[in-house]
Amino acid sequence: MAHPIPSLTQLQLPPVEEYRKRKVALISGITGQDGSYLTELLMEKGYDVHGIIRRSSSFNTGRLHHLYEDQHERPTKFKLHYGDLSDSTNLVYIIAQVKPTEVYNLGAQSHVKVSFEMAEYTGDVDGLGTLRLLDAIRTCGLENHVRFYQASTSELYGKVVETPQSETTPFYPRSPYGVAKLYAYWIVVNYREAYGMYACNGILFNHESPRRGRTFVTRKITRAAADIKLGKQSCLYLGNIDARRDWGHARDYVEGMWMMLQQEKPDDFVLASGETHPVREFVEKSFNYAGIQLKWEGSGEEEHAIDVQTKKVVVRVDSRYFRPAEVELLHGNPAKAEKALGWKRRVDFDSLVKEMVDADLKAAASLVEDQN
Ligand code: NDP
Ligand code: GDP
């Protein structure tokens, strides 16, 4: 039987125009929030979708479960490959095997607070990992065949220099995560200029959904609002509730990623809602929607909120969740993407909160039922 991994000398590539008629996407970070929405979108558009997943001792494909069919029953247009952004050889093998037309680099250690505790790892995966994937494409001789999307971030702006933040705002990252993503941003620009690669940075402001990781602030809040409402949790502990973010829905943002790779020329784009809200407002709206009215009391690290009806403390500030350096304000200007790509976010702030709380109320209620 032939070995499943072709050696590079055996790679037979048709001319670029012919190669690009195929629609084959490769996604790193496919098991994450954005990876799952992007997979849905690309499959709807008729792509073969390949994803890189990490070997894990526990189940890590929950967000993809609804898309995955048993490969033994019938071959599907959706395939997962074991790999890691820290393993160059593996990336070369996957690219050689898949021969993608579009590569979406969404894989990352994506949590800002964790990046202070795992700074070197974050730099390796989020920064150098991007270089490894770009070089894997070049090693396979596919630099003119493949379009590359890089998951850049509003965390690049960090300390406020100007608002709203756009493609021309200077960067000033405030965390090992932001600094690692800065390297990734520039290596994408550099490979575009040096080797003529079609490579784009999507500078995405925070985007959320019911599939958002549970340790990011929005999901932590909506889960707690649901669990407290159903009596499964007594109090939510948070860090800096005065930080402001520009929040949108992940489903809208993955569409923008795809749009960036369909242009005539590669470029970098901000995707944002154009609004900014404090974490405090996200808390109030979530609890309110879950049926709990809050009243804030105290100040600074003593600040807390009580449930107006039960008079119990249901939200407390806890300094454990403060960061060594904070990004106080993010507020994006998506005008360039709106004009050049025709992109527009569909889900507004209130609808996002409602969708997330509804999903967490439903999940919490079904768990309560299971236990009864
Ligand atoms: P998630 O944290 O939900 O997903 C991250 C993905 O990266 C997961 O599939 C994870 O795998 C994978 N991953 C982690 N480490 C590695 C590694 N060493 N090698 C390969 N894959 C790895 O993030 P999101 O979906 O929310 O975000 C997608 C991308 O967009 C990330 O790069 C993030 O930094 C960036 N971004 C996100 C924003 C947001 O608001 N959501 C805003 C701007 C940028 P596993 O499931 O096994 O952990
Ligand atoms: P980030 O913008 O990528 O860091 O996304 P997060 O959702 O992790 O954090 C958004 C903001 O919420 C940051 O300013 C955090 O400091 C703030 N925040 C306040 N309390 C918490 C908390 O308990 N967890 C997290 N993750 N963030 C918090």
pLDDT digits (tens, 9 = 90+) for 70-121: 556 666 789 999 999 999 999 999 999 999 999 999 999 999 999 999 999 9
pLDDT at 1 over 90: no
Please tell me which residue, 137 or 366, carries the higher pLDDT value. Answer: 137
C-alpha span between 238 and 69 (Å, rounded): 39
**Where does 217-244+278-327+348-371 sit in CATH, by number?**
3.90.25.10
pLDDT number for residue 69: 66
Residue 18 clears pLDDT 70, i.e. is over it: yes
- Domain at 14-204, CATH from 3.40.50.720, 3.40.50.2000, 3.30.365.10, 2.170.120.12: 3.40.50.720
Q: What is the pLDDT of residues 23-55, one digit of tens each?
A: 999 999 999 999 999 999 999 999 999 999 999
Report, as an integer, the average pLDDT of 143-156: 98
pLDDT computed for residue 67 by the predictor: 87
Site to probe by mutation for ligand 1, drawn from 34, 120, 352 as the one with most ligand atoms within 8 Å of Cβ, is 34
Is pLDDT above 90 for 19? yes
Q: Is the pLDDT of residue 330 over 70?
A: yes
Distance 262 CA to ligand 2 centre (A): 33
Mean pLDDT along residues 158-173: 97
pLDDT at 372 over 90: no
Evaluate whether 14-204 and 217-244+278-327+348-371 have a shared fold. Answer: no
d(CA 42, CA 23): 9
Ligand nearest to the CA of 55: 1
Query: What pLDDT, on the 0 to 100 scale, is given for residue 339?
Result: 98
Q: CB of 210 closer than 6 A to ligand 1?
A: no
Please give the pLDDT value at position 76.
72
CA of 217 relative to ligand 2 center, distance in Å? 5
As a whole-number percent, the residues of the chain with pLDDT over 70 amount to 95
Domain boundaries, the chain: 14-204, 217-244+278-327+348-371
Q: What does the pLDDT read at residue 13? A: 87
Q: Do the beta carbons of residue 249 and residue 207 sit within 8 Å?
A: yes
The confidence score (pLDDT) of residue 367 equals: 75
Q: What is the mean pLDDT of residues 247-274?
A: 98
Q: What is the CB < 6 Å shell around ligand 2?
A: 112-113, 155, 206, 215-217, 220, 238-241, 243, 245, 279, 321, 323, 326-327
Nearest atom of ligand 2 to the alpha carbon of 175: 4
The interface pTM score, or ipTM, of the predicted complex is: 0.99
- Say if residue 342's pLDDT is above 60: yes
Indicate the pLDDT class of residue 193, thresholds 50, 70 and 90.
very high
Mean pLDDT (whole number) for 212-222: 98
Q: Sorting pLDDT into bands at 50, 70 and 90, what band is 368?
A: confident
Q: What is the pLDDT of residue 11?
A: 77
